[in-house]
Amino acid sequence: MSAGTGNGSPATQNSAIGTRLRDARIARKLEPEAVAEALHLDTDIIRAIERGDMALLPAPIFVQGYLRSYARLVGLPEDDLIREYNAEHTEPPPLSVISVGDKQPLFRLPSARIIRNVILIMLGVIMLWLAYPFVEQLMTLQGNETTEQLPGRLELPPEFDGKQPSDNPG
């Protein structure tokens, strides 16, 4: 007996899953090429799944998706196949970052909210500073446009302002 074909070995389980998928495919009268086209996979991947050849398959997370789609296509219970596959291919949990103590940063930046508010205030001040000459000019123009005299105030022409014009200078 060759290695990987004993009872309970991963190769046996994989080929059992692959055999179930292959038998269901044959029962539906589908060729491996048709399955590969329907699942948007290479025919080599379909054949590797059916043989249980893990060396030709990508990471287990991708194989789970392939198995689920293949089972759905041929009418097998996808969750059962995935459970069987996961029982044999348990991956270690992803690496986690462990802190190396309570090291405080040398310089701590203020929060983004404070920075945003300071920038908005600075932009407002700059806009007011830039707009001030235009506002001042507008106010001056509005003051000069009024030609009508105010009530209760009489403006006399220059010859009646109380000074006598003299013909001789000095």
Q: What mean pLDDT is predicted for residues 20-48? A: 91
* Residues in Cβ contact with 96 at an 8 Å cutoff, skipping those fewer than 6 apart: none
CATH superfamily of 10-88: lambda repressor-like DNA-binding domains (1.10.260.40)
Higher-pLDDT residue of 163, 67: 67
Q: What gap in Å lies between CA 117 and CA 34, rounded to an integer?
A: 60
What's the pLDDT at 165? 56
Q: What mean pLDDT is predicted for residues 129-139? A: 87
What's the pLDDT at 100? 64
Is the predicted pLDDT of residue 159 greater than 50, yes or no? yes
Q: Residue 92: left (phi > 0), alpha (psi -120 to 50), or beta?
A: beta
Q: What gap in Å lies between CA 16 and CA 91, rounded to an integer?
A: 20
What's the pLDDT at 7? 45
Is 121 within 8 Å of 103 (Cβ atoms)? Answer: no
Is the predicted pLDDT of residue 9 greater than 70, yes or no? no
Neighbours of 81 (CB within 10 A): 19
Is the predicted pLDDT of residue 27 greater than 50, yes or no? yes
Listed by start position, the domains of the chain span 10-88, 111-142
For residue 47, which of 62, 36, 63 has the smallest C-alpha distance? 36
